Amino acid sequence: MKILYLLICFFAVQVQAEQTKEVAPRLAMGFYYPSLSNVSSRTDIELSLSYWVKELTHKIGLENAYSVLFDDIHAMNSAFEKGQLDMVIAPPLLIANYFKRPLLSDGFMAVKQLHKMDQLVIIARHGQLQATENYVGKRLLLPKNNFLAQIFLESEVLKQSQQPLQQVFSQIDYVNKNQSIILNLFFDKADVAVTYASTLELMVEMNPQVAKKITVLAQLPVKGGNYGYFHHEYALQETLKKEASRFTSEPRGKQILEVFQTSEIAMSYVEDLDSFDRFYQSYLMLKKVQAND
């Protein structure tokens, strides 16, 4: 009887030890691929992100670190809710619309310039347009896989004409590269486009003639194309935010950022999403007015 009692105690201790055994630290970063597809090929992006994650975590000895590309925002959100991802990186409007706010915690993001907001801008060939009602019959270029850009332009059009883009523009094309959008507008292959102010500024620096042919009609402030947020239960978020803040001071870190056409690391706060909530609700109200007309 005594032996049986000892065996029971032994197995009970073993089970308890297994239950309390700590899980090895991990960093699983989920990236929304469509918003990165304008940078390079999928293979090159996967390789660059692999280096990104290793460079971010090697100094703190975090060996179980990896990135996952997602083509579908619903699948990405599902993995995040199930605890399969510790951090998500995606366009802010998609995060605001699809991810539960209580699950998110402040994170970081790659930007072109620290302490300076970028802007989505609606641009047109100089002299052709003075107001949105003149969009009718014009040729439009939109950045591919940029939901925010499309909603921004559609909101501006709805304010004036209460008509969807397809009924206003004579032609709508989607372009992968922001620089190509500006060049197409410059060479009269389109009349109206949406791009980023930082890209427009760069193109003007390279060719001052761009400023003489292109005018900005409307602006929407954004920190960058993609925002990054930790899962609120992730234990190493503060440590990794500190590591990320030092990322740009190292040569390899700078090289990786250049691949994604950025140069700095900025903090992304959960409260940053509030403005996108308001923006999208305003868009839905405009759509409702259009539907009732």
Question: Beta 192-196 vs 118-125: how paired, if at all?
Answer: antiparallel
Domains identified in the chain and CATH numbers? 27-113+225-276 (3.40.190.10), 118-222 (3.40.190.10)
pLDDT of the residue at 132: 52
293 residues of the chain, pLDDT tens digit each: 444 444 444 444 444 444 434 456 899 999 999 999 988 889 999 998 998 898 889 889 999 999 999 999 999 999 999 999 999 999 999 999 999 999 999 999 999 988 889 999 999 987 666 555 578 899 999 999 999 999 999 999 999 888 889 999 999 999 999 999 999 999 999 999 999 999 999 999 999 999 999 999 999 999 999 999 999 999 999 999 999 988 888 888 888 888 888 989 999 999 999 999 999 999 999 999 888 87
- Residue 28 contacts residue 66 (beta carbons within 8 Å): yes
pTM: 0.88
Residue entry with tokens 């409007």: 93
Q: Where are the beta strands (DSSP E) in the chain?
A: 27-32, 65-70, 87-90, 104-105, 107-111, 118-125, 139-143, 171-175, 192-196, 214-222, 227-231, 264-268
